């Protein structure tokens, strides 16, 4: 039934607002539109008509009425706030900020202006400005829970954890039943790995609103971080059900499935989202990364999907055309400006391989820039800052602004260190931000991005056969190994061989659970039967979960005698204590088809020889490359059967095993794998040749 005017303005306004509040938006729109025709100069009618249209997603029409309202009442701060919210919804953060600042000048005591302005600034990564706005707002309204919680969240985003915790506690004193405060504080405690305290906050939130998506989602993410993955899956599945159109909740749920090792199930769910029309860059990258873990897909299938979906990544029409500048490079001429882009300039796997390169660059021929996209920093971050000529904190820069900065810096060679991993900045490369663009270290496959010129590999990871040239980049093979390893901490001492004190050999694997797929588990089950007194130590945060442990044993086809010899270890508080656990491992077992990289290097430098299986793709041949670089090709198998035999034979030869343990660290330190000076010299020659070639093209 169509809404009708009564002729009484106040009554009509109340009726229309009631319809809007009841969600009967079509009827509310109709009634407000009729009122606007009768009273075109009433700013309230124009405003409510705009709000009704905005709630229906009709943003262009809503904007027209907000503009009319502001023209009729140019000193109304509330109208400007509504316009700011619409502009933000349109993705026009700068225009929204401008509108909020005009509103603030008119009404400096209006709390909602500080709240909304702070959100716009924080979402752009302008944390210090957002903090100042929230603090100014709190000086006017010190008991505002919204301002207190937003300030606490922004302090946490800025890495100011102590101040953030203090603010969350203050917010909960003001509003003890605030879901936002409880969830925000729980998330902060989760990030600090204080899981028991975090759970207490989430339980309080859950008791208040068990069907709130944000509670379920964040509680699930916390449980996942704590390794309680089966419980996490329950909450994340429910969050996804409660918000079927919210992509982030769907991605969190699928990530939990992947973390449990159910990789092919995760792939199916990613593909369902992609088929539904979702194509955010985060979804694409999560999907492509997960493909690498599968032992059911061929190398060709994985590469083809990278090329297909990698083409969707980019800044599109927003990106200005890149103007390539020709620069002569000679020993006595201008140095090459090389820029490294990474989220992982911190204690992270990538740092083990990039730090010696950054420190070793020839400063006559190269000027080194590091673009860090992560606000988090630690002692490794500080050492990397010291190793480069220019450190750029890009964590707060929108992607377009970062691209402009890179172009302004005159970067000749831009190097991506993440590929399709989380928090990547492949849009920079898709939009062409430097004359020569290279991907290296952080990803075991093609990026699929057409504008990525080169991927650095070696002849063992990527032999010169058609199967290894399926991506978008030219494969350029570094001599020896494509990596140069350097630990990022002081290493624990290597203990005596564990078998001497135990009387049995202990196999171990500390790799990510997603890498531990069915074929590898079956091989391990066969190995345990072949070595009936051996133990298998599996370490990872997910192994605190009984469901995960049961699934692993089931896929190993382990009978009771084998199950009793599988030992599970969870999270260690420090990297040093994590590495010390290798003193309980005699032989490390590599995963396949996705080999370990940092885990392989850590095992060997802690005296545990690694048995690996060489497969048919880069991810499956990194173990071959690392072991060959230190002269341990004998521990590289070609088939699962050979892999089992190699590990079993090594376990049976106790003298050989003890000799390997005693000499492995020295063997690594004197090998090409850790020869930073030689590696960097060879690497730089390749960079010069590639840049020269790019200028001649």
Q: Is the pLDDT of residue 316 over 70?
A: no
Tally of domains in the chain: 2
Residue 524 lies in a domain: yes
564 and 667 assigned to the same domain: yes
Residue 97 lies in a domain: no
Q: If you average pLDDT over residues 96-111, what whole number do you get? A: 95
Q: What is the pLDDT of residue 332?
A: 47
Residue 34: pLDDT band by 50, 70, 90 thresholds?
A: confident
Q: Give me the residue label for tokens 């101040």.
A: 163
Domain at 361, CATH number: 3.40.50.11380
Q: Which residues contact 192 (CB under 8 A, 6 or more apart)?
A: 161
658 and 514 assigned to the same domain: yes
Domain at 542, CATH number: 3.40.50.2000
- Phi and psi torsions of 541, nearest 5°: -60, -30
Q: Is the pLDDT of residue 633 over 60?
A: yes
Q: Could you report the per-residue pLDDT of 366-391, keeping only the tens digit for each?
A: 999 999 999 888 999 999 999 999 99
Residue 652 lies in a domain: yes
Q: If you average pLDDT over residues 185-207, what whole number do you get? A: 96
463 and 519 assigned to the same domain: no
Residue 532 lies in a domain: yes
Q: In the chain, what is the greatest distance between 2 CA atoms, to the nearest angstrom?
A: 100
Rounded to 5°, the CA angle 229-230-235 comes to: 90
Residue 573: pLDDT band by 50, 70, 90 thresholds?
A: confident
Both tokens of residue 653?
Answer: 């030869």
- Looking at the chain, the whole-number percentage of residues with pLDDT higher than 70 is 96
360 and 382 assigned to the same domain: yes
Distance of CA 547 to the CA centre of its chain: 25
669 and 683 assigned to the same domain: no
Q: What is the pLDDT of residue 13?
A: 82
Q: What is the pLDDT of residue 331?
A: 43
Q: What is the pLDDT of residue 469?
A: 74
- Bridge partners of 538, per DSSP, are 509, 568
662 and 683 assigned to the same domain: no
Residue 148 lies in a domain: no
- Looking at the chain, the whole-number percentage of residues with pLDDT higher than 90 is 81
Q: If you average pLDDT over residues 407-427, what whole number do you get? A: 96
Q: What whole-number distance in Å separates Cα of residue 142 and Cα of residue 111? A: 10
509 and 405 assigned to the same domain: no
441 and 524 assigned to the same domain: no
Q: Is the pLDDT of residue 461 over 60?
A: yes
Specify the long-range contacts of residues 678-683, CB closer than 8 Å, at least 24 apart.
679/356, 679/357, 679/360, 679/480, 679/484, 680/356, 680/357, 680/360, 680/361, 680/362, 680/484, 681/362, 682/478, 682/479, 682/480, 683/357, 683/478, 683/484
Q: Could you report the per-residue pLDDT of 504-547, keeping only the tens digit for each?
A: 999 999 999 999 999 999 999 999 999 999 999 999 999 999 99
Residue 614 lies in a domain: yes
Q: What is the mean pLDDT of the chain?
A: 93
Q: Is the pLDDT of residue 330 over 80?
A: no
- What is the domain range of residue 635? 498-674
Q: If you average pLDDT over residues 259-271, what whole number do you get? A: 96
* CA distances to 79, 260, 581, 630, 668 from 601, in Å: 60, 24, 14, 11, 9
373 and 419 assigned to the same domain: yes
Q: What is the pLDDT of residue 672?
A: 97
Q: Could you report the per-residue pLDDT of 133-143, keeping only the tens digit for each?
A: 999 999 999 99
Q: What is the pLDDT of residue 317?
A: 55
CA atoms within 13 A on the CB side of 93: 11
CB 342 within 8 A of CB 373: yes
Residue 306 lies in a domain: no
Looking at per-residue confidence, does 21 or 237 come out higher?
237
Q: If you average pLDDT over residues 609-625, what whole number do you get? A: 97
Q: Could you report the per-residue pLDDT of 24-33, keeping only the tens digit for each?
A: 888 888 888 8
Q: What is the pLDDT of residue 16?
A: 76
Q: What is the pLDDT of residue 101?
A: 97
513 and 632 assigned to the same domain: yes
Q: What is the pLDDT of residue 320?
A: 66
Q: Is the pLDDT of residue 171 over 50?
A: yes
Q: If you average pLDDT over residues 478-504, what whole number do you get? A: 96
Q: If you average pLDDT over residues 613-639, what whole number do you get? A: 97
Q: What is the pLDDT of residue 1?
A: 45
Both tokens of residue 425?
Answer: 């900045």
Q: What whole-number distance in Å separates Cα of residue 550 and Cα of residue 543? A: 10
Q: What is the pLDDT of residue 359?
A: 97
Q: Could you report the per-residue pLDDT of 1-16, keeping only the tens digit for each?
A: 456 667 677 887 888 7
Both tokens of residue 421?
Answer: 């991993």
User: Is the pTM higher than 0.75?
Assistant: yes
525 and 443 assigned to the same domain: no
Q: Is the pLDDT of residue 470 over 90?
A: no
412 and 456 assigned to the same domain: yes
Q: Worst-scoring range by mean pLDDT, 47-61, 132-146, 422-436, 529-543?
A: 47-61
DSSP letter for 514, please: G
Residue 151 lies in a domain: no
Q: What is the pLDDT of residue 315?
A: 72
Looking at per-residue confidence, does 48 or 676 come out higher?
676
């Amino acid at each position: 039934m169509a809404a009708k005017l009564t002729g009484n303005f106040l009554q009509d306004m109340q009726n229309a607002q009631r319809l809007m509040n009841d969600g009967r938006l079509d009827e509310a729109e109709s009634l407000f539109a009729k009122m606007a025709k009768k009273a075109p100069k009433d700013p309230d009618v124009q405003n409510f008509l705009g709000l009704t249209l905005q709630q229906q997603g009709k943003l262009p029409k809503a904007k027209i009425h907000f503009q009319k309202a502001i023209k009729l009442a140019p000193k109304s701060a509330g109208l400007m706030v509504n316009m700011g919210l619409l502009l933000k919804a349109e993705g026009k953060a700068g225009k929204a900020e401008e509108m909020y600042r005009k509103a603030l000048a008119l009404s400096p005591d209006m709390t909602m202006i500080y709240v909304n302005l702070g959100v716009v600034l924080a979402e752009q990564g302008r944390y210090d400005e957002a903090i100042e706005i929230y603090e100014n707002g709190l000086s006017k309204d010190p008991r505002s829970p919204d301002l207190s919680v937003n300030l606490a969240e922004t302090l946490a985003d800025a890495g100011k954890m102590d101040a953030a915790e203090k603010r969350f506690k203050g917010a909960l004193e003001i509003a003890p039943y605030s879901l936002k405060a409880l969830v925000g504080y729980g998330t902060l405690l989760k990030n600090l790995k204080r899981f028991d305290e975090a759970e207490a906050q989430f339980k309080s939130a859950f008791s208040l609103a068990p069907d709130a998506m944000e509670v379920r989602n964040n509680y699930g993410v916390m449980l996942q971080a704590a390794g309680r993955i089966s419980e996490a899956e329950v909450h994340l599945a429910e969050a996804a059900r409660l918000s079927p159109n919210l992509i982030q909740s769907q991605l969190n749920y699928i990530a939990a499935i992947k973390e449990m090792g159910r990789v092919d199930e995760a792939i199916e769910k990613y593909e369902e989202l992609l088929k539904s029309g979702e194509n955010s860059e985060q979804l694409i990258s999560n999907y492509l990364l997960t493909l690498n873990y599968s032992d059911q897909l061929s190398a060709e299938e994985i590469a083809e999907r990278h090329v297909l979906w990698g083409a969707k990544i980019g800044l599109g029409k927003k990106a200005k055309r890149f103007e390539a500048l020709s620069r002569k490079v000679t020993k006595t001429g201008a140095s090459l400006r090389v820029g490294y882009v990474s989220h992982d300039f911190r204690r992270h796997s990538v740092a083990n391989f990039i730090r010696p390169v950054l420190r070793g660059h020839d400063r006559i021929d190269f000027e080194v820039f590091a673009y860090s996209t992560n606000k988090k920093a630690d002692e490794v971050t500080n050492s990397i800052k010291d190793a480069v000529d220019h450190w750029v904190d890009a964590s707060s820069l929108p992607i377009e602004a970062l691209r402009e900065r890179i172009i302004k810096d005159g970067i000749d060679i831009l190097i991506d260190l993440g590929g399709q991993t989380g928090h990547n900045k492949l849009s920079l490369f898709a939009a062409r931000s430097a004359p020569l663009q290279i991907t290296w270290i952080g990803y075991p496959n093609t990026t699929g991005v057409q504008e990525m010129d080169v991927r650095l590999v070696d002849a063992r990871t990527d032999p010169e056969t058609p199967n290894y040239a399926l991506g978008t980049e030219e494969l350029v093979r570094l001599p020896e190994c494509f990596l140069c390893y350097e630990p990022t901490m002081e290493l624990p001492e290597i203990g005596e061989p564990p078998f001497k004190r135990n009387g049995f050999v202990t196999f171990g694997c500390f790799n990510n659970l997603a890498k531990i797929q069915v074929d590898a588990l079956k091989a391990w089950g066969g190995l345990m039967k072949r070595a009936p007194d051996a133990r298998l130590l599996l370490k990872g945060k997910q192994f605190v979960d009984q469901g995960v442990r049961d699934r692993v044993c089931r896929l190993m086809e382990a009978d009771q005698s084998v199950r009793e010899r599988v030992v599970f270890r969870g999270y260690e508080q420090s990297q040093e204590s994590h590495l010390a656990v290798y003193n309980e491992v005699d032989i490390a077992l590599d995963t396949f088809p996705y080999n370990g990289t940092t885990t392989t290097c850590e095992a060997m430098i802690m005296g545990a020889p690694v048995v690996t299986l060489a497969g048919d793709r880069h991810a499956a041949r990194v173990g071959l490359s690392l072991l060959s670089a230190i002269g341990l090709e004998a521990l590289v198998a070609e088939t699962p059967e050979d892999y089992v035999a190699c590990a079993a034979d090594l376990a049976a030869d106790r003298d050989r095993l003890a000799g390997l343990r005693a000499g492995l660290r020295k063997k690594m330190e004197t090998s090409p794998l850790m020869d930073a000076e030689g590696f960097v010299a060879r690497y730089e020659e390749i960079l010069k040749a590639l840049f020269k070639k790019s200028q001649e093209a």
